[in-house]
Amino acid sequence: MPLPEKKHHAWMGLALAEARRALATEDVPIGAVVLGPDGGVLGSGRNQREELGDPTAHAEVVAIREAAARLQERARLGGGSGDGWRLSDCTLVVTLEPCAMCAGAIVLARIPRVVFGAWDEKAGAAGSVFDILRERRLNHWVEVYPGVREEECALLLREFFAGHRSISPQP
């Protein structure tokens, strides 16, 4: 696996800030950002499943949708190239290893690089349970940079779930 670059640590700080925003809506604190080739943020997202009542509102999907919309707007205004939905020069940074749904969205969006923090040993699809991002039978493969600020990302999730487990319904 490729070694993380110094800028990945800074970018993960942006994703962690998004993850913390999810706490306000009782969503699992996972955050994501899509960065363009210049390192600028094209899209950001946090888990919003509880807030929106949408099972597909994972941080990665929210960030990918926002980035694609921004690129489409640029193309419409004549300031960009391409069709907008192909994020072929972008990097997705997310605090938790993507699940199968998000990994599929990453592949379909043609994102070439994913940087993630904590591993998801139950549902991860970037090397732990599945490896959809590097599945050779698919038409697009992704470079994966795992474990960036891993302990910080994992701690945020552990604290969230510990808090939810300590609140048990009374009979």
Task: For residue 139, count other CB atoms closer than 10 A to its CB.
Answer: 8
164 marked ligand binding residue: no
153 marked ligand binding residue: no
Contacts of 58 (CB under 8 A, 6+ apart): 30, 45, 47, 49, 99, 101, 102
90 marked ligand binding residue: no
DSSP state of 135: -
- Helix axis angle, 6-22 relative to 59-76, nearest 10°? 110
Active site residue 73: no
CB-neighbour burial class of residue 87 (10 A; exposed 0-12, middle 13-18, buried 19+)? buried
- 49, HSE (Cβ side, Cα atoms, 13 Å): 13
Given the residues 26, 51, 60, 150, the one annotated as active site: 60
CB burial string 6-15: b at 16+ within 10 A, e below: eebeebbebb
Amino acid present at 4: P
Active site residues: 60
Binding residue positions: 58, 99, 102
Binding residue positions for Zn(2+): 58, 99, 102
